[in-house]
Chains A and B, each alone.
Chain A
């Protein structure tokens, strides 16, 4: 039997460290090659790590929420054959005392009458982990924790019994308790009666996806001077067309939402506004204007906001775009999106769908420079062809990076999009070159 240490591989794109999101295995599990081990989150995406080898897990290093540098040992296996870890002892559980015995004694520093045998630092040098990896707690076994940790758990309404302790002999530390709470531990709060005064504040540690979102939003708002622009769009014709197409679609075709129409309209207009389909590397002082249109689709998932990307949307027809939106957003919701599916967008659409509200001021998906937020379509009385008519009206909100997009250009861009949405046949006209797209029509 040998030991095999699985280290965090280089997950690419210059990633130096990654966050452990969730373990899918436990110490003592016997697992097969390619079995799902752990979810790791980089700046870009959550990645499923699978096992390179079959064997029994003797150690998991790092709690969910903790950062692991590339190359750091993540999982220690006991495997048939020699394994890849020739320095460590084969028996992890008995390692500490044995290592302490065989390791050279620490050099005597001073002329002490009695060099105090100090087992732990020696052992720690030989194997930089807890000397006694904790086996899962047996049923009925009292969890090991200091009085302060026990009291804090009680204050929080958390049962220590359910917490994995990372300390020696499975001792539960404050950090273990933090990690457990951050994972969404059930706390023992009783359901409160109506009008009962409530006490207490829940401390939620921001880790994982939420931390990424927080960091990104903070960074975006700090760096980018946003300006918002809102225009109202008469969607009556487009909605009629969409209803027609959905009624006539083949069973294998996806149901069309507003999104693919919006995407097509953007794609038609963007070639004339290359400064809007862009990513701004503000540290280098370079704007990268993209010829392809990779559209980010802001998606609410159970874990929080994720932006999967429809790559090369310019090469997709309406149906293909609709199918691709459904595919990547489902993948994101199921936490199955690959890193590629979550990166590389050049412009983003954020839609709250039917609950879209009157106006939004969307936050740009840094380092992009523009974000488009269609609001809800509402039937309203408007003046149409000289008469008051009930029309399906929608506000189209948008934000731009004012450093590289001028207000005039942004307004013109939105007016062009509006014109296409109000006259949807024009979205599909194969006109030669962008010059064929008409300028915005004056309001009736």
Chain B
């Protein structure tokens, strides 16, 4: 027998856009149903941000033990080389995922959100059928929030399968590939490529653009490039991955280099990270009558689609495909449905690359600002002059903090940093951007000694023309 549900709000997708919206809606007393076919948590919790951070952390630990066993590290010496059991590492990572997944399930329950486990298929904008684990369910709702997320893009000539993996499978390998070719030097490819290099794989990176991390300026990416070079990670820039060949000797990736030569890269695994695409196929989106904006679902600044009372959030609606953007949009949609006045108009959405070293960026780069015709002052301060960085091996990787401000009124237009552990500086950067701070606000804030954040303070002083420690 088919169960019929008629909630006020139907949320499609249990990722950060969907589950946050559902929790907030529940808090606001909105009768809410959430449909998810996989475990709750979405890409972020299950196969993205969190699992990759766990692997990256484990890789870092392994690397420092390797250093300690090889030549000693700050007087610490291990008598034997560390051994990696990747299956154990992945199991530990899965433990974290399970814990978060259970947490989300509990939060939804506490907010009185009904979770239907299965894949939704829409017949019209407000009605879907779910072949759920407990039998067929039809749901018709007053409001529908689409938060179906995104999927890895595959290269047609190098389809996923066999040795060709996406980030999802790369995070579930139980044996370490001796050789790994990463196609696409964006943040996902480099984060995982660097982690595998630290774990002991021989990693080669193939990137079609002229630079690694092409979304960032070369000043910011230079320390990462430096790490790759120093750690024997070969990078082929301006190169195209053409095909996979499997012969008696094993698998190779055929690459056309920048100067037109053909290379054959023998490898065990090929990790393809050439981007993600919104998940728009196979669940009846085409029956809902919503307008598209390119490959994304078109929404306004309140996440309304072209169909009344159908909303969309997160990766489905455009770049940046970031958890914190999706969650913010989801929360906002719930509040708008509850009658609040909200708008998605952030001053900046900070983004982090958990590469080695890390990169964080909020707002405009110096080049963005000059492209926008704004006269700027830029203050840059190296971690080499920061005591805390020196004390944690974070000073000699070329890292720095850079603040970009308008020359006329000193308003902060953008902040970037590259260096070990700088991801944690993102909170202050985002706050400064949202509060509309000027350089004098940062200069006038006492930053705790000894921390990496002092480098931010100094960068503002530098922009004002009077840095102390440089």
Q: How far is the CA of A255 from the CA of B141 in the complex (A)?
A: 70
A216 at the interface (CB under 8 A from B): no
Binding site for B on A (CB under 8 A): 93, 96-97, 100-101, 113-114, 116-121, 123, 131-132, 134-135, 142, 144-147, 150-151, 154-155, 157, 167-171, 199
Q: In the complex, what's the smallest C-beta–C-beta distance from A189 to chain B, in angstroms?
A: 11
**Could you pull out 25 A-B pairs where Cβ atoms are within 8 angstroms?**
A93-B409, A96-B410, A97-B465, A100-B466, A116-B446, A117-B443, A119-B461, A120-B443, A131-B438, A132-B409, A132-B438, A132-B440, A135-B408, A135-B409, A142-B347, A145-B436, A146-B434, A150-B345, A151-B342, A154-B341, A154-B343, A155-B340, A168-B440, A169-B409, A171-B438
Which residue of chain A has the shortest Cβ distance to B457 in the bound complex?
A116
- A93 engages B341 (CB within 8 Å): no
Cβ contacts under 8 Å, A119 to chain B: 440, 443-444, 461, 464, 466
Q: In the complex, what's the smallest C-beta–C-beta distance from A33 to chain B, in angstroms?
A: 30
- B446 engages A96 (CB within 8 Å): no
Counting from the closest, the 9 A-B pairs by CB-CB distance are A144-B436, A169-B409, A169-B411, A120-B444, A168-B438, A119-B443, A132-B409, A171-B436, A146-B435
**Number of A-B residue pairs having CB atoms within 8 Å of each other in the complex:** 81
- B341 engages A131 (CB within 8 Å): no
Central interface residue in A96, A116, A134, by most chain B CB within 10 Å: A116
Q: How far is the CA of A117 from the CA of B341 in the complex (A)?
A: 41
- B440 engages A131 (CB within 8 Å): yes
- B466 engages A114 (CB within 8 Å): no
Given A119-B440, A135-B408: 16 more A-B contacts, CB < 8 Å: A96-B410, A100-B464, A113-B449, A117-B443, A117-B461, A119-B461, A120-B440, A123-B440, A131-B410, A132-B408, A146-B436, A151-B342, A169-B410, A169-B411, A171-B436, A199-B339
Which residue of chain B has the shortest Cβ distance to A157 in the bound complex?
B341
Which residue of chain A has the shortest Cβ distance to B342 in the bound complex?
A154
Cβ contacts under 8 Å, B343 to chain A: 154
- A168 engages B410 (CB within 8 Å): yes
Which residue of chain B has the shortest Cβ distance to A97 in the bound complex?
B464
B406 at the interface (CB under 8 A from A): yes
Q: Mark B431-470, 1 if CB is under 8 A from A, else 0.
A: 0001110101101101101000000000001001110100
Cβ contacts under 8 Å, A113 to chain B: 449
Contact of B438 (CB < 8 Å), options: A114, A145, A155, A169: A169
Q: How far is the CA of A97 from the CA of B438 in the complex (A)?
A: 12
Q: How far is the CA of A203 from the CA of B35 in the complex (A)?
A: 42
Cβ contacts under 8 Å, B444 to chain A: 118-121
Cβ contacts under 8 Å, A157 to chain B: 341
Cβ contacts under 8 Å, A123 to chain B: 440
Q: In the complex, what's the smallest C-beta–C-beta distance from A157 to chain B, in angstroms?
A: 8
Contact of A101 (CB < 8 Å), options: B342, B410, B466: B466
Q: How far is the CA of A100 from the CA of B347 in the complex (A)?
A: 28
Q: Mark B256-293, 1 if CB is under 8 A from A, else 0.
A: 00000000000000000000000000000000000000
- B465 engages A168 (CB within 8 Å): no
Cβ contacts under 8 Å, A100 to chain B: 464, 466
Q: How far is the CA of A167 from the CA of B465 in the complex (A)?
A: 22
Which residue of chain B has the shortest Cβ distance to A160 in the bound complex?
B345
Q: In the complex, what's the smallest C-beta–C-beta distance from B217 to chain A, in angstroms?
A: 22
Central interface residue in B345, B347, B408, B444, by most chain A CB within 10 Å: B444
Q: In the complex, what's the smallest C-beta–C-beta distance from A115 to chain B, in angstroms?
A: 9
Q: How far is the CA of A155 from the CA of B343 in the complex (A)?
A: 10
Which residue of chain A has the shortest Cβ distance to B343 in the bound complex?
A154
Which residue of chain A has the shortest Cβ distance to B454 in the bound complex?
A114
Q: In the complex, what's the smallest C-beta–C-beta distance from A97 to chain B, in angstroms?
A: 5
Q: If A100-B464, A119-B464, A169-B438 touch, does A114 touch B341 (CB 8 Å cutoff)?
A: no
Q: In the complex, what's the smallest C-beta–C-beta distance from B286 to chain A, in angstroms?
A: 33
Q: How far is the CA of A135 from the CA of B444 in the complex (A)?
A: 23
- B443 engages A118 (CB within 8 Å): yes
Which residue of chain B has the shortest Cβ distance to A168 in the bound complex?
B438
Q: Mark B165-179, 1 if CB is under 8 A from A, else 0.
A: 000000000000000
Q: Mark B409-437, 1 if CB is under 8 A from A, else 0.
A: 11100000000000000000000001110
- B466 engages A117 (CB within 8 Å): yes
Central interface residue in A120, A123, A134, A170, by most chain B CB within 10 Å: A120
Which residue of chain B has the shortest Cβ distance to A121 in the bound complex?
B444
Q: If A120-B443, A146-B436 touch, does A169 touch B465 (CB 8 Å cutoff)?
A: no
Central interface residue in B440, B446, B461, by most chain A CB within 10 Å: B440
- A132 engages B468 (CB within 8 Å): no
Q: In the complex, what's the smallest C-beta–C-beta distance from A215 to chain B, in angstroms?
A: 34
Q: Mark B335-370, 1 if CB is under 8 A from A, else 0.
A: 000011111010100000000000000000000000
Q: How far is the CA of A391 from the CA of B459 in the complex (A)?
A: 88
Contact of A169 (CB < 8 Å), options: B436, B447, B464: B436
- B409 engages A168 (CB within 8 Å): yes
Cβ contacts under 8 Å, A132 to chain B: 408-410, 438, 440
Q: How far is the CA of A168 from the CA of B437 in the complex (A)?
A: 8
Q: In the complex, what's the smallest C-beta–C-beta distance from A166 to chain B, in angstroms?
A: 13
Q: If A114-B449, A121-B444, A169-B436 touch, does A144 touch B464 (CB 8 Å cutoff)?
A: no
Central interface residue in A119, A135, A146, A167, by most chain B CB within 10 Å: A119
Cβ contacts under 8 Å, B468 to chain A: 114, 117
Q: In the complex, what's the smallest C-beta–C-beta distance from B401 to chain A, in angstroms?
A: 16
Which residue of chain B has the shortest Cβ distance to A134 in the bound complex?
B409
Q: In the complex, what's the smallest C-beta–C-beta distance from B407 to chain A, in angstroms?
A: 10
Which residues of B, 289-347, contact A by the 8 Å Cβ criterion?
A: 339-343, 345, 347
Cβ contacts under 8 Å, A93 to chain B: 408-409
Which residue of chain B has the shortest Cβ distance to A131 in the bound complex?
B440
Q: Mark B383-420, 1 if CB is under 8 A from A, else 0.
A: 00000000000000000000000101111000000000
Q: In the complex, what's the smallest C-beta–C-beta distance from B288 to chain A, in angstroms?
A: 27
Cβ contacts under 8 Å, B446 to chain A: 116, 118
Cβ contacts under 8 Å, A117 to chain B: 443, 461, 466, 468
